[in-house]
Amino acid sequence: MSAVASAPKGLEGVVAAETEMSFIDGQKGILEYVGIPIGELSSNSTFEETVFLLWNKRLPKQNELDEFTQNLRKRYELPKGMEQRVTSLPKTAEPMHVLRTLVSSLAMYDSDPNANDVDAAQDKALNILGHAPTIVAYFDRHRRGLDLVHPDTSLSFAENFLYMLNGEKPTETMARAFDICMILHADHGLNNSTFTTRVIISTLSDVYSAITGAIGSLRGPLHGGANEGVMKMLNEIPTVDDAEAYIMGKIQRKDKIMGFGHRVYKTKDPRATDLQSLAKKLAEDTGNQELYAKSHIIEQVMERELGAKGIYPNVDFYSATTYHCIGLKLDLFTPMFALSRIGGWAGHMLEQLADNRLYRPKAQYVGAHDQPYVAMSDR
């Protein structure tokens, strides 16, 4: 009997889709959205323009961006009845579970929830992109016992979310920092949650199901949940002087060090490079220099000890410091990732619908054959 070739674990190296959205070269540390280097976008673009780029495969003209932005802002406010759903939730609920559940429930407020032609799907995706920040902000204020702050449609995506969350308009630095985080997290090839989106929509299911499934995937600590782990690690280090010994202990014990290593990148994640300078500036502006100093020492130690193995900071490492400096609670870190990635998920969903084929991979059976059935009395 000929040997059967082993299947790649986790589908590693398997090409499962074609996309024009993001290009990654893990060896060289390159990430591009529709051919534009991520650093160019984080330096010059906005999140709204980046989403337009991902969905339309080109940068918008000014009138197109204005129309897209205004259309998004019209979706900030939740459908009638949704506010009461948010405030009826237990205050102990986890924000990612809240986001997953309420994005799913948006389907019940849609008069035609199952429409999944490309135009209808894009319109529903814009609804979810507009509503999701409001869901997160409303729930966070609800659990803190604060009055809800309704959206301000004169504000950008980034400004409006921070306004709803904190009850006051953010500084220009804070808003721009959050906007850059949204740009950097918007898309990243066929990662786990993006693959989930494409698999679900390939059945010609609905947009809400596809995005809900993606949120569930992102919640895992091996995916979007990693940035929470970075912050927990930084909080465990008493002082800057303790950082090197703490990391060396983890290396010696062969513990996983959150925020380092990536399935794709074998050099420093280009998004981490952009976030590092942003985190440093925010730390200086908000009095969190010690937090940044810990991060910098950790990176130096890791590069010295494990850089030769291709283990470098990933996007989660400096996003943790950035989100902390903005003032976000730890359990809001992963929801921030989700708010951004809705743009990428939706773009992949639109690509899938435009040239759909149902995903139906095979599983390689490795069990026994011709086993007898054993009667209950003989087991």
User: Is residue 136 domain-resident?
Assistant: yes
**Do 186 and 241 fall into the same domain?**
no
Catalytic residue selected from 150, 223, 285, 331: 223
**Do 199 and 173 fall into the same domain?**
yes
pLDDT tens column, 260-293: 887 788 888 888 888 888 889 899 989 999 999 9
Nearest to 182 by CA among 148, 157, 217, 219: 157
Say what the pLDDT of residue 1 is.
Answer: 42
Say what the pLDDT of residue 363 is.
Answer: 87
Domain with residue 104: its CATH number is 1.10.580.10
User: Is residue 230 domain-resident?
Assistant: yes
Distance between CA atoms of residues 198 and 158, nearest Å: 27
Distance between CA atoms of residues 15 and 350, nearest Å: 18
* Residue 324 appears among annotated catalytic residues: no
**Do 135 and 157 fall into the same domain?**
yes
Catalytic residue selected from 140, 269, 316, 324: 316
Distance between CA atoms of residues 195 and 337, nearest Å: 16
Say what the pLDDT of residue 2 is.
Answer: 45
User: Is residue 244 domain-resident?
Assistant: yes
**Do 121 and 29 fall into the same domain?**
yes
Question: What's at 370, amino acid-wise?
Answer: D
**Do 109 and 240 fall into the same domain?**
no
**Do 38 and 186 fall into the same domain?**
yes
Total number of domains in the chain: 2
Question: What's at 34, amino acid-wise?
Answer: V
Catalytic residue selected from 131, 142, 185, 262: 262
Count of all residues that appear for the chain in the document: 379
User: Is residue 373 domain-resident?
Assistant: no
**Do 198 and 346 fall into the same domain?**
yes
Per residue in 257-293, is it b (16+ CB within 10 Å) or e — as a string? bbbbbbeebbbbbbbbbbbbebbbebbeebebeebbb
* pLDDT-flagged residues of the chain (< 70): 1-6
User: Is residue 127 domain-resident?
Assistant: yes
pLDDT tens column, 138-162: 999 999 999 999 999 999 999 999 9
Distance between CA atoms of residues 12 and 288, nearest Å: 39
pLDDT tens column, 164-185: 999 999 989 889 999 999 999 9
Say what the pLDDT of residue 3 is.
Answer: 46
* Residue 296 appears among annotated catalytic residues: no
**Do 73 and 96 fall into the same domain?**
yes
**Do 172 and 249 fall into the same domain?**
no
**Do 170 and 273 fall into the same domain?**
no
Q: Decide: residue 56, CB within 10 A, 0-12 exposed, 13-18 middle, 19+ buried.
A: middle
**Do 212 and 155 fall into the same domain?**
yes
Domain with residue 275: its CATH number is 1.10.230.10
**Do 261 and 205 fall into the same domain?**
no
Say what the pLDDT of residue 5 is.
Answer: 61
Question: What's at 259, amino acid-wise?
Answer: G
* Residue 370 appears among annotated catalytic residues: no
Q: Residues 20, 25, 29, 33: what is their CA dihedral angle, to the nearest 10 degrees? A: 0
Domain hosting residue 271, numbered range: 226-326
User: Is residue 374 domain-resident?
Assistant: no
